[in-house]
Amino acid sequence: MSIEPATRVATGCLGWGHAFGQLSISNDVLEQRFSLPAGWIEQRTGFRSRRYAAPEQAVSDLAIEAAEQALARSGVPIGDIAFILLATSTPDHLLPGTAPVIAARLGSSAPAFDLMAACSGFAYGWMTADHLVRSTGRPILLIGANVLSRRVNQNDLPTVILFGDAAGAVVLGPTAEPGILAATGHSAGEHAPQLMIPAGGSRQPWQPDGLDADRFMQMPSGQTVFKLAIQSMVEDCEAVFSTARVIPDQVDWLIAHQASSRIVAELGKRLFIPAERVAWWLADFGNSSAATIPVAISLGREQGLIRRGQTVLLAAAGAGFCSAASVFRV
């Protein structure tokens, strides 16, 4: 799916917000659990700690906190929001979707739905929201949120050192500025087993005597995931460069899905974007899948790193194996 700039009106980012789980889990705790030398986790992942939701917190709680910030910063009343989209892999419950619950708690009766594309969920939601802005002429609330600490086996080293809980939100709406210049994405479902939670769906329902391992995130080969993620994001980024007529030297910030510092750094190198223009802002918060890009946008705007007039490249890849990229002008 691609969006051609010549066929669209401008969609801009009007507001942003973020929220984290209340509990901070440091590398020290995990390194002691797995008898690892000090510094081992940060050296391999770039993460110093990760945030976990408190027992009473669910995805909707984090999502609402981030959404309220985004709405306040945008100045858009909740009643003016045309659609509410939630990108998540860890909804409050399987039925109904969590987005309508969020809408009700925000005081909205707008159409609301969940979008599940794992780590690319927000990037896919970004493209979907852009189409909705163009078709309605009204602002859209887009949220990425996950509580992955409850989908990670706490005894599985490859996954527990990566994932955390967070939410990020943006309000996208029609603007007179260039806004989103181009976006594209693709999937490669043949690689689905590389990152999967096998049990809990119609293929393999949860059973009382089912294997505990099938209830949690499984990543049989981190190296394979690394290669697939880099390859797919490079392809998508090169495609949006061509469509938007943008070159790497014009990119002020590359905000890739904050999966690990190694993936983010390697993507920057492959795209010839200098390290000082590659965002790595979630070292203390962990990989929250679809939430990492909106959280990074929010942190970057809040800290004055992302400024009006800059050109930002977004890229994500993850389970599915789904990927996407977008170029937008702040």
Which residues are part of the catalytic machinery?
Answer: 119, 257, 287
SS3 state of residue 47: coil
| Dist. CA 228–CA 318, nearest whole Å | 9
Tell me the β-bridge partners of 186. 323
3-state helix/strand/coil string of 263-308: HHHHHHHHCCCCHHHECCCCCCCCECHHHHHHHHHHHHHHCCCCCC
| Dist. CA 9–CA 12, nearest whole Å | 10
Question: How far is residue 229 CA from its own chain's centroid?
Answer: 14
Integer CA distances (angstroms), 164 to 109, 131, 309, in order: 30, 30, 32
| Dist. CA 295–CA 285, nearest whole Å | 10
| Dist. CA 290–CA 234, nearest whole Å | 19
- Compute, in degrees rounded to 10, the torsion defined by CA atoms 189, 192, 196, 197: 60
Closest CA to 29 of 52, 6, 1, 9: 52
Q: Which helix (H) or strand (E) holds 302?
A: helix 292-302
Q: How many other C-beta atoms lie within 10 A of the C-beta of residue 272?
A: 10
Residue 318 carries which side chain, given as an amino acid letter?
Answer: G
SS3 state of residue 258: coil
Largest CA distance in the chain: 58
Tell me the β-bridge partners of 287. 163
- Compute, in degrees rounded to 10, the torsion defined by CA atoms 76, 78, 82, 85: 100
